[in-house]
Structure 1
Amino acid sequence: MPTSKKDLLDLQFIDARHKLIEVAAFLDRIDRHTGEDDYRIAALKKTLPILLEDRPDRARGVLEALSDHSTELSHTALFQGAFGAPLP
C-alpha cells in the first residue's frame, strides 16, 4: 500500500504515462485520416483540460463530461448500446 506520493508514482507512473501516450497516438491517428470530426472527438477533447486542473475529482469530471445527462428515453434507437460520449 503506497504511503506517499513517491510510493504511488513508483507504482503507477509508467502505467499512467502509457495511457497518456495511447491517447496522444489515437488523436494523431484521427488527424491522419480524412473526414470530419464528430461529437466523440469533441467530447474527448473537452475532457483534456480537466486533467490539468488542480482538483481532487478529475476522474469524476472526465466521467461527467463524457456522460449523457439526458433523462428522456430515445424511442428511435436503432440498437441498445452506448457510444461513450453524449450525443450533440
Structure 2
Amino acid sequence: MSDFKGILIGMLVVAVLYMLDRYLPRWFGAIPGAGFLGFIIYIVFTKEVSLLSIVTVLLVGEAVLNGIWIDALVNRKRKMKKEE
C-alpha cells in the first residue's frame, strides 16, 4: 500500500506543478527540476539502492518535470501571440 500511496503523492505533486507553471514566472519551472535532482542525489548517498534504478527514476522524473515546464512556456507564447 505504501507504493500506491507514493505514486498518488507523486501524481498530486505533478498536477500541482502543472497548474503552477501556468501562472508563475517562466524561471519557476527550473526550481522543481533542481529540487528533484538534489533529492535524487540525497537518495543515492543515504540509501542502499542500485545505480540503474535510481538513474531510471532520475531520467523519467526530469523528463516529466521538463516536459511540463516546456509545455507551459509554449502555451504562454501561443497566448501572447493571440493577444497581439
Q: Do both proteins adopt the same fold according to a TM-score greater than 0.5, normalized to the shorter chain?
A: no
Return the index of the structure with the highest Cα Rg: 1
> When you count helix as a share of all residues, which structure comes out higher?
2
Higher-RCO chain (CA-CA 8 Å, sequence separation at least 6):
2
TM-score with structure 1 setting the length = 0.34
TM-score with structure 2 setting the length = 0.35
